[in-house]
Structure formats: structure tokens, C-alpha cells
């Protein structure tokens, strides 16, 4: 991070060292406790300004990741439908995308990578319902709180499949 703030810090340290040199401590290298406290205070102030922005980007990225995973699961369900002629029932759930379902000879999966259906970015399982309220199926993430409803990052995210 080369900018005016770091240059100012190093200039302050050089001034402090040069004033020590006039007092007769010319052979001693190192930082005094006051110098260390000044640097730690400046770093703390920078983190106080930058920290909330970083946390905001982290929560936004989790929401985007959940939307992408829901789209991926929707594509996998469409492939399942092409092979089986139907979507998995609510009781079969999204597990039908990684393990064969009894009674379907044309199962050609697994339809998602890995041996399990991924959880949402907050570590909660996706909720699958077939039929959905306005579509053949619905995939939902319950957001950061893991409960239905909510606002902000706790808002539920649902598939928009028609």
C-alpha cells in the first residue's frame, strides 16, 4: 500500500530517530514503544474505515454465489427432467440429482458435480419444493438466518424457473 499515509508514517519514524540521535543514542536501532503505538493506532484507524466496506462486499458475494448455485441446480433439474420425464418429487428432493431414484430407469446422473448437493453459502441446505407456487418446482435459500422470511442478507432467495 504505497500512498501518502505510509510515506507519512515512515517520515514520522525518521524524524523520531533523528531526534534520538542528537541525544546520544546513535548506535541503537529499533522502535520505541511510542512509535509502535502510533503505528498501531494508524493501522487501527485505517481498518475502521476499510473494514465495513470489506464486510459489505463479503455479504454481497454470498448472495451472488447463492443465486448462481440456484441457477446451476435449476439446470441440473432440467437435465433430470429430460432423462426421467418428470422433476424429482419434494420427498425425493435435490438428492435425486446425485443418487439414482427408484422407478426411473433412464436416470443418467449425477447431474451435479461431487457426491452431494451443495449447501448455500451460509451452510444451510437448499429447500426444494415440487410443484412450486408459480413454477414446476422451486429452489430456495433461506438466507443468512436460515429461517423463512427476513430482510437484508436474511432475505430468502428463490429460483425464478417457469
pLDDT tens string, the chain, 162 residues long: the values are: 455 566 666 666 666 565 555 555 555 678 888 989 999 999 998 888 888 777 777 777 888 888 889 899 999 999 999 988 889 988 888 988 988 888 888 888 788 888 788 898 888 899 999 888 888 899 988 877 766 776 666 677 777 654
In CATH, what number is assigned to the domain containing residue 39?
3.30.700.10
Q: Give the residues across from 158 on adjacent strands.
A: 140
**How far separated are the first and last CA of the chain, in Å rounded?**
49
Is residue 81 domain-resident?
A: yes
Does a structural domain hold residue 73? Answer: yes
For residue 25, being part of any structural domain is answered with no
Contact residues for 121 (Cβ-Cβ < 8 A; gap 6+): 62, 63, 65, 66, 69, 141
| Cα angle 48, 52, 54; round to 5 | 110
Interior/surface letters 103-126, b for 16+ CB within 10 angstroms, e for the rest: ebeebebbbbeeeebeebbbebeb
Range(s) of the domain holding residue 86: 4-20+30-158
Residue 58 lies in a domain: yes
The total of structural domains in the chain comes to 1
- Please tell me whether the peptide bond between 131 and the residue prior to it is cis, using omega within 30 degrees of 0: yes
Residue 137 lies in a domain: yes
Q: Strand 127-129's sheet: what is its strand order?
A: 127-129, 138-141, 157-158
Q: Is 44 inside any structural domain?
A: yes
Task: Quote the CA–CA distance of 95 and 81 in Å, as a whole number.
Answer: 14
- Asked if residue 94 is part of any domain, the answer here is yes
- Is-contact 73 96, C-beta < 8 A? no
Identify whether 86 is part of a domain: yes
Amino acid at each position: 500500500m504505497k500512498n501518502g499515509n505510509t510515506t507519512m508514517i515512515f517520515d514520522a519514524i525518521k524524524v523520531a530517530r533523528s531526534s534520538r540521535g542528537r541525544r546520544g543514542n546513535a548506535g541503537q536501532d529499533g522502535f520505541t514503544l511510542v512509535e509502535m503505538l502510533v503505528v498501531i493506532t494508524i493501522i487501527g484507524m485505517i481498518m475502521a474505515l476499510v473494514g465495513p466496506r470489506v464486510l459489505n462486499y463479503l455479504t454481497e458475494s454470498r448472495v451472488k454465489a447463492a443465486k448462481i448455485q440456484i441457477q446451476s441446480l435449476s439446470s441440473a433439474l432440467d437435465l433430470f427432467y429430460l432423462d426421467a420425464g418428470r422433476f424429482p418429487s419434494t420427498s425425493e428432493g435435490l438428492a435425486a440429482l446425485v443418487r439414482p431414484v427408484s422407478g426411473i430407469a433412464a436416470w443418467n446422473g449425477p447431474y451435479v458435480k461431487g457426491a452431494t448437493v451443495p449447501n448455500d453459502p451460509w451452510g444451510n441446505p437448499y429447500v426444494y419444493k415440487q410443484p412450486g407456487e408459480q413454477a414446476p418446482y422451486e429452489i430456495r435459500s433461506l438466507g443468512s438466518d436460515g429461517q423463512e422470511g427476513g430482510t437484508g442478507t436474511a432475505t430468502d432467495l428463490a429460483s425464478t424457473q417457469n
